[in-house]
Structure 1
Amino acid sequence: MALPIINSIASWILKKRIHDMELFLKYPNEVQEELLHNLLDTAKDTLLGIKYDFASINSYRAFAERVPVSTYEDLEPLIEQTRRGEQNVFWPTAIKWFAKSSGTTNAKSKFIPVSPEALEDCHYKAGKDMLCLYLNNNEESQLFTGKSLRLGGSKQLYEDNNSIFGDLSAILIDNMPFWAEFSSTPSNKTSLMGEWETKLTAIVNETINENVTSFAGVPSWMMVLLNRIMETTGKENLLEVWPNLEVYFHGGVSFEPYRSQYQNIIPKGDFKYYEIYNASEGFFAIQDSNYSNDLLLMLDYGIFYEFIPMDTFGTDRQRVIPLSEVEMNKNYAVVITTNAGLWRYMVGDTVRFTSLSPYRIRITGRTKHYINVFGEELMVENTDKALAKACEQTGAEVRDYTVAPIFMEGKEKGAHEWIIEFKAQPENTEAFRNALDLALQSVNSDYEAKRYNNMTLNKLVLNVARPKLFYDWLKEQDKLGGQHKIPRLSNERNYLEQLKALQVEDSSMA
């Protein structure tokens, strides 16, 4: 069958889903309420369902009063029971897959349960919806005349009890129907390779002669791959390698620090960037229009949402609210109940709503990734925006960064200390430092107030990282490739001190 015909048929099938989305767009809170009751009914005979008597819960208020908000540490004993082979603990369907995620806040590995329902009704459904929304907005798309370049993680078999764990992306690849591989590159075998450098070379060799029309992956690691592709081919930009490129589906870290770099290597005015919000725990939101920074919260993936206002988070005033009570432009911690048996689980992400009809969000950071030592309430969204402004003003390009507080000592005021690895260094580092400090003040009024006349905070301290410093740090942590991320902000100095020590160690060996 000719490729254009395949493209037309695939587009038609995917776009039929638009009509299904209209239900949760029109009745979002009713859809969420019904979903909660279905989850409770499905799990009422599990160990957890019996403990909290899910069968008698008939309202959201009863659910919120009876079932506690939980962290991974709270649920870990139940998850370990399931990993040892027990079933019907927190979800009735047998669970053998676990998404291994150490995150960026804890060295200890987390094993997030992935049920058959989570695979089919959340992750795979979301993948189709991502394509559906893109195609609905781009009628002339020729997406399926070529292949999608995917960059995922690696998979291992947990041999003690035959449960299987790996990066979520690897679990998805391993469970996809055989025909899905025909529209993707590289092959499943290459996608699931473990050793990053070997895998990178294999991906380059497999993909450079394909007709790639889209790619998907975490911006930081995808940029490493794309730079390697251009080095290998000797081309000046990606369009010389893949002239039919249309769209990049990205998620995992903020795109803002990388946007100019992608625009440089893909010099195409109508090239599309579509953001997605997914995690090991579920797929939550998708950009639903071209050239937008807002993500549509997807309400029919078997996930019930609650939110904790960040101004009460972690305090004795902490409160949890349903979707129907959220307000615009406030930061919230995300709490989810899922069709994989995570009950009132704190994901660790923070979001703010940019629209309430329909519900659209922007990701603002992590509940543990912010700096508020001096009352400045600095979020990752702030630092990403400020960096983008400073780069635009100075011609710099940032590869990676992390920030930590400099604590007050005696009469000495505090400050923020940055370590930034540049892809393109600014001509004048001091000018960049000034631009960044002013940009931070422009995007965060609390930071601006603390910086006023150096009242509480001195001007930020800037360390320029040597090339590959963050790469080497991740390698030391055994976190190369896949979905691993650099911790951007911390109220403590441990990440920053480790990076500075590695920088000094390298200098002494030179």
Structure 2
Amino acid sequence: MKIKSFLAKPFANYIYKQIKKGMATAVADQEQIFQQLIKNGGKTVFGKDHQFDTIKTPADFAKLVPIRDYEAFTPYINKIKEGKHNILWKGQPIYFAKTSGTTSGVKYIPITKDSIPNHINTARNALLCYMVETGNTKFADGKLIFLSGSPTLERVGGIPTGRLSGIVNHHVPKYLRSNQLPSYETNCIEDWEEKLEKIVDETINENMTLISGIPPWVQMYFDKLQEKSGKKISELFPNFSVMVQGGVNYEPYKAKLIESIGKPIDTIELFPASEGFFAFQDSQKEKGMLLNTNSGIFYEFIPVNTLGNEQPTRLTLKDVVVGENYALIISSNAGLWAYNIGDTVKFVSTNPYRIIVSGRIKHFISAFGEHVIVEEAEAAILAATAATGVRINEFTVAPYVAADKGKSYHEWFIEFEDLPLNMEAFAQAIDDALRTKNVYYDDLIKGNILQVLKITPIQKDGFKQYMKSVGKLGGQNKVPKLSNDRTIASALTALKYV
């Protein structure tokens, strides 16, 4: 046993015991965090604007602090950029995490001295839980890679600013620096395709034991490795034993990733965002990710069916139930208050509190009143691929509204690994599965308002070409699975399979 894996064992056991204790005190921890946040926030401009000195309970907070998205926070963010202190949190942020918003353009999310441990320690805790449960510590002695954004930081209002993954790269512990790939110079390359070539060159002959990243970009890395070597990933990296992933649902990418690797492999799912690191997979045996209930973040949960109300229902952790679809709302020691992060979650357990990410609030289709969400679309295509053996690489869905004659339908743009022998049958399989998941869609099909969905097959690497064309190739960028308009659909039509 080598020194790093040897030393990891006692530390892993210590942290694991702390996490297990936290499972039992989650509600109490949330209540304590709420009080701490209100106390500290009361000294800020935001706190004074919202009468924090009168807030005693989450119910008081809900009355005085409305749900906000990034656009509503921009006046406060602008004051921070002007160099002002104590705006959203004490002092000034130590970083801005720069991220692309769906409607906001570029967003600048504050990260403070108090909130940075949440981003750094959560991924570590996921790995330590894995070590304790499985006994696998050997990966700590090999080479580790995270396919991330550039660590190069600019300054906005005097505050270091960059992609979250690049910021976190600056906080990798010294004892792991010698294990980390790619090199800092390669990580700084902005062009994804050039960067990927360099990453392959730097890693193809190394003892890679852990690989981490968003599944579609990990697949691109694997494809390039196989192209250069002619070998499966497990042949290239025989000690590769753990894949860490997050950002999108793993299941649609799983079959092809496992095929590329050449054998089943342990995976650890994470739920990070620029606004906070919310959950992590703490067990290979249980479904879902453990909610980070004692890490400087106070959570509220809005049942999705009340989200459009003038006064939506705002629940705290003690009130949630298994199976309900909730919009995730956070207040944190980064200075975010009743902030709608745009993701929806479902609890798969309340003892302990484990969640799955069920979709994005803005990523849905309801052009005809069906309100299909990402979770339903992914479940439908997984059911169809499982039943037919068809393999896909990527997909997105948009509504097609018939202008004159004919009926409207959902158009599925799919990049196949191999085209189905019977495209109509495959479309019918997805349609049937979606009808079982969504009663409104089923009613629209039964009522002859919609016709069965249609598939537009996209050429090989078509989604890659699309993401490149909009400047979102690689890093932490993801293809939206559902749209309520034809913006993405119009671009993909030019990339259809001929």
What TM-score, normalized by structure 1, do the two folds share? 0.93
- Asked if the contact 1:46/1:88 (under 8 Å) is kept, the reply is yes
Q: Output aligned runs, 1:279-358, within 5 Å.
A: 279-316=273-310, 318-358=312-352
Q: Output aligned runs, 1:53-452, within 5 Å.
A: 53-103=51-101, 105-106=102-103, 108-120=105-117, 122-159=118-155, 161-235=157-231, 237-269=232-264, 271-316=265-310, 318-407=312-401, 409=403, 412-452=406-446
- Asked if the contact 1:174/1:188 (under 8 Å) is kept, the reply is no
- Asked if the contact 1:273/1:291 (under 8 Å) is kept, the reply is no
Task: Supply the AA of the counterpart residue of 1:295.
Answer: M
Q: Distance in 1 between matches of 2:286 and 2:406?
A: 43
User: Which deviations, in whole Å up to 9, do the C-alpha atoms of 1:300-351 show, x marking residues without a partner?
Assistant: 1111000111111113462221121112211111100011101000000011
Task: Supply the AA of the counterpart residue of 2:182.
Answer: P
**Residue 503 of structure 1 is aligned with which of 492, 495, 498?**
495
With over 3 angstroms needed to count, the CA separation of the structure-2 counterparts of 1:100 and 1:159, relative to structure 1, is closer
User: Hey, which bits of structure 1, 4+ residues long, moved more than 6 A?
Assistant: none
User: Which deviations, in whole Å up to 9, do the C-alpha atoms of 1:173-213 show, x marking residues without a partner?
Assistant: 02334333223211233223211111111111111122111
More displaced, 301-310 or 4-13?
4-13
Q: Distance in 2 between matches of 1:450 and 1:31?
A: 45
Task: Supply the AA of the counterpart residue of 1:357.
Answer: N
Q: CA deviation at 1:65?
A: 1.2
- Give the 3-state SS of the residue equivalent to 2:272 in structure 1: strand
User: Which deviations, in whole Å up to 9, do the C-alpha atoms of 1:144-195 show, x marking residues without a partner?
Assistant: 1212221001245445633222221111002334333223211233223211
Q: Distance in 2 between matches of 1:46 and 1:317?
A: 25
- Asked if the contact 1:173/1:188 (under 8 Å) is kept, the reply is no
Q: Distance in 2 between matches of 1:317 and 1:498?
A: 38
Structure 2: runs of 5 or more not aligned = none
Q: Distance in 2 between matches of 1:107 and 1:470?
A: 23
User: Which deviations, in whole Å up to 9, do the C-alpha atoms of 1:73-114 show, x marking residues without a partner?
Assistant: 0001211221232221101142141111114x2371111111
Paired residues, number: 498
Q: CA deviation at 1:283?
A: 0.6
Q: CA deviation at 1:9?
A: 1.0
For 2:23, the equivalent position in structure 1 comes to 25
Does structure 1 residue 459 correspond to structure 2 residue 456?
A: no
For 2:44, the equivalent position in structure 1 comes to 46
Q: Distance in 1 between matches of 2:439 and 2:180?
A: 45
Task: Supply the AA of the counterpart residue of 1:497.
Answer: S
- Asked if the contact 2:76/2:88 (under 8 Å) is kept, the reply is yes
Q: Distance in 1 between matches of 2:441 and 2:64?
A: 39
- Asked if the contact 1:181/1:187 (under 8 Å) is kept, the reply is no
- Asked if the contact 1:219/1:255 (under 8 Å) is kept, the reply is yes
Task: Supply the AA of the counterpart residue of 1:251.
Answer: G
With over 3 angstroms needed to count, the CA separation of the structure-2 counterparts of 1:292 and 1:375, relative to structure 1, is farther
Task: Supply the AA of the counterpart residue of 2:108.
Answer: F
Q: Distance in 1 between matches of 2:215 and 2:366?
A: 27
**Residue 481 of structure 2 is aligned with which of 457, 477, 488?**
488
Task: Supply the AA of the counterpart residue of 1:272.
Answer: D
Q: Distance in 1 between matches of 2:411 and 2:166?
A: 36
Superposition CA RMSD, Å: 2.0
Q: Distance in 2 between matches of 1:62 and 1:107?
A: 29
Q: Distance in 2 between matches of 1:20 and 1:469?
A: 46
Q: CA deviation at 1:379?
A: 1.3
With over 3 angstroms needed to count, the CA separation of the structure-2 counterparts of 1:145 and 1:158, relative to structure 1, is closer
Q: CA deviation at 1:409?
A: 4.3
For 1:469, the equivalent position in structure 2 comes to 462
What TM-score, normalized by structure 2, do the two folds share? 0.95
Q: CA deviation at 1:373?
A: 2.6
- Asked if the contact 1:401/1:488 (under 8 Å) is kept, the reply is yes
Structure 1: runs of 5 or more not aligned = none
Task: Supply the AA of the counterpart residue of 1:479.
Answer: K
Q: Distance in 1 between matches of 2:171 and 2:426?
A: 47
